[in-house]
A and B are shown apart, each in its own frame.
Chain A
Amino acid sequence: MAEIAKTIRSKNAGVDKITFDVIFPDRAAYDRVRESDVLSREAVCRIFGIDAAQITDHVEFDPALAIKFTIYRHTPSGSPGDADIFGSQQYGPLLDIDMPDG
């Protein structure tokens, strides 16, 4: 994924959610990832080990060539023990997603 996406990022979405953006440089890369389902709701659950109920939004946004999803935090941002107050380093597991051949 890191090789074909232009931007892979995570950040806070309000107090109790973290949102992820995966943005592609061109339509071909965007379509290839969409059609492969490697960033589908089910795939996101598998990657982060979470239930579908923890995903609040999952959209494919054609105008921006972006796949965007939002998940609940364990605790609100900045609570004692929260080690990512801005949610800015949650995207790590997305970098190494393997793309099927083709």
Chain B
Amino acid sequence: MKLEGSDKVGERYVGIVGVCDPYTIANIDLVTAWARQQVVERFGDSCYELHFTVYGRNAILGDREPLKAAPGHELGIVVQAVAPTKAMADEVCMIATRQMFYARLPEVKGTAGGVAFLLDEVMPASPAYRWTLNHTMRLDDPLELFPTYVVEAGYDAGPQIGGDRQDDPQQERRRRQDHL
């Protein structure tokens, strides 16, 4: 028997920004750290999750990316905020996304916005879940964890719903029990 389960982490909002300034690309971790700090100043550092996925550097393999020190000539960064309510997830995501725009690195020549917005907003996404159960159990009888029983309800009140299918496992068990 395999038992799997997941737990809701929270509501989720997503923002997307792009970068092509080479100095910003080389120091993108400073930009995301700055944005994260602005969220911390508003909400503290617990009760929510904030993820920056840096496409063009190591979004897919993370630390396992052999080329992470050689990012592309432009980056796309997906910001994910997960929080107990949609309103909070929206605000965490908005702060983190927008503050990347305002992050100011000393060597950057551009002064009118540190990143490029695809949308000047953040978007609601599906709630976030995380696997919490992943177990297997050896059973002698595959049905032993699923006790079944039959209740006769309204037996004489009219025709039965569903009929008496020969291959219905519950009907089969009932017949076997009748012999006991």
Residues of A within 8 A of B (CB): 14-16, 47-50, 74-81, 83-84, 89-90, 92-93
Contact = CB atoms under 8 A, between A and B. Distances in A.
Nearest to A93: B66
A80 B60 contact: no
A92 B64 CA distance: 11
Contacts of A93: 61, 64-66
A16 B127 CA distance: 20
B134 A16 contact: yes
A90 B63 CA distance: 12
A15 B131 contact: yes
Contact of B61 (A15, A80, A92): A92
28 contacts: A16-B134, A48-B64, A50-B64, A75-B130, A76-B131, A76-B134, A77-B131, A78-B6, A78-B129, A78-B130, A78-B131, A79-B128, A79-B130, A79-B131, A80-B9, A80-B12, A80-B82, A80-B128, A81-B53, A81-B80, A83-B53, A84-B60, A90-B61, A92-B60, A92-B61, A93-B61, A93-B65, A93-B66
Contacts of A81: 49, 51, 53, 80
Interface residues of B, number: 23
B64 A83 contact: no
Contact of B60 (A16, A50, A78, A90): A90
A75 B6 CA distance: 13
Interface in B1-31: 4, 6, 9, 12
